[in-house]
Structures are given as C-alpha cells and as structure tokens.
C-alpha cells in the first residue's frame, strides 16, 4: 500500500507529538520528518502533507514555504483573521493543485457542537459562549469560540433576529470579547485541555451545548482524515464540515 508522507511542524509540542503517534498508527501514512519553530524546515524530507501546530507568529511563513514547494498543508494553528485568510487564498490561487485545510478544531465532537449551535441559534434571543483552555494557549478568544460565534451570528442574521439583549452600561471588561455581536468569555486554567459551552436563552428556558476534550488524542481522528482529504482536494478548505460530510 502506498503511504502518504507526512511532515510535522511543531513536532515536539503536545499536539505535534500526538500527530506523530496518530500518523504512525495509520496504515496509509508515514512520518517523513518534523521540526520545531526556528529549525530547518527541510528536515521534513519528502513530505507530501505538512501538519502545522506551531504558533500564530510562525504559521504564515510556514504556509508560504510549503506552497512554494507544492506541499499540501493541514493547519491547526490559530490566529487567522480575515486579512490572513485573504493572503492564504491568494497564495493557494498561485499554486493550483496544492491543498490547504485550516480548522479551528479537529475534534469530531467540537465540529458537531458548532453545527448544533448554528442550528439552535435562530430559536433563542440570547446567546453567549464560554471557552475554557489550559493557560499555555497563545490566543483568546479561541479559534473554536470565534468560529462558533460567527456561525451563530450568521444564523441569527438569516432569521432576522434583533441584537442579543444586554442592558449592561458599566462593563470594565467583564462581558468578555465580542465577535459579530456574540459575547465570548475565555478562561485559562491549569488542568484543562479544551472545553466550550454555548448558552442560549429564551423566557423560561435555557439550552446549553457543551463539548469537552480531556486529552489531545481526541483531535487525532480529525487530523488523520484531514490529511487524506487535502491529498485529493486542492485549493483552500476552511473547517472540517466538508471532510466529515456534514
């Protein structure tokens, strides 16, 4: 059986180490090498796909390096805003035949949580998000919570809902970040991995959708499927819905 050659950026990190184990467990893949930040990227050898779990400060240069060499990418590093995504789209267009997948979360449960949240959003006037992560996470709010907020906001706009009710006058930051009109509250606590609650409210009831990743191994089935996907789907893919057929 032919095996996909996979390189790992951020190979010594907690996510990178899990990627190595997951790739080596897959029958149709093999690791071709890995590096950490500021190391020689050529150490990935003859990789066909690079999985990037590094840092927002490094990921854009990693994308440029890989696309210049026609190497597909699966990216779990966060920190992508509209400006960065526009640059990635431009780079991908300059390298037809190369696939790049950027996902804010590879956990199957987290992908379903975001989908369920978008389904529930038109039915509730109130919606807020609490995201809880380990204290070494580089960005806040998390990429998952920002993606969830945008999807909730889009569903609310399609349903012609009014803005989320909120009479707060004096804030001092306690109301959290706001993404497309949805408040996000970020916690960074030792002992956590990755967790998110989406809370919806209507008079007389609330609905809470929660997902918990207790171990980074929970992200690996999605990463493995994403590697297979980019080999067959050139261009830019955002998030995991297409990979999972949702």
Question: Known catalytic residues?
Answer: 133, 137
β pairing state of 126-133 and 194-202: antiparallel
C-beta atoms surrounding 179 within 10 Å: 18
CA distance 43 to 34: 6
For the chain, list the strands marked E by DSSP.
4-9, 29-35, 49-52, 72-75, 99-102, 126-133, 177-179, 182-188, 194-202, 205-213, 235-238
- b (16+ CB within 10 A) / e for 95-123: beebbbbbbbbbbbebbbbbbebbebbee
């Amino acid at each position: 059986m032919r095996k996909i050659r996979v390189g790992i950026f951020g190979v010594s990190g907690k996510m990178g180490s899990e990627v190595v184990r997951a790739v080596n467990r897959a029958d149709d893949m093999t690791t071709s090498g890995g590096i950490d930040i500021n190391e020689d990227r050529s150490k990935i050898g003859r990789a066909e796909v690079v999985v990037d779990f590094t840092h927002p400060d490094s990921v854009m240069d990693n994308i440029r390096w890989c696309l210049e060499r026609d190497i597909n990418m699966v990216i779990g590093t966060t920190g992508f805003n509209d400006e960065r995504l526009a640059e990635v789209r431009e780079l991908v267009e300059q390298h037809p035949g190369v696939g790049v997948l950027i996902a804010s979360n590879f956990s199957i449960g987290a992908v379903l949580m975001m989908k369920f949240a978008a389904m529930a959003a038109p039915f509730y006037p109130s919606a807020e998000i609490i995201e809880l992560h380990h204290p070494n996470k580089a960005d806040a709010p998390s990429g998952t919570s920002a993606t969830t907020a945008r999807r909730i906001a889009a569903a609310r706009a399609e349903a012609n809902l009014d803005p989320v009710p909120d009479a707060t006058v004096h804030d001092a930051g306690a109301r959290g970040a706001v993404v497309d009109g949805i408040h996000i509250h970020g916690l960074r606590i030792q002992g956590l991995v990755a967790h998110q609650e989406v809370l919806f409210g209507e008079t007389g009831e609330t609905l809470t959708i929660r997902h918990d990743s207790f171990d980074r191994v929970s992200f690996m089935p999605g990463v493995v499927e994403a590697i297979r996907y980019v080999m067959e789907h050139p261009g830019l893919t955002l998030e995991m819905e297409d990979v999972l057929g949702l």
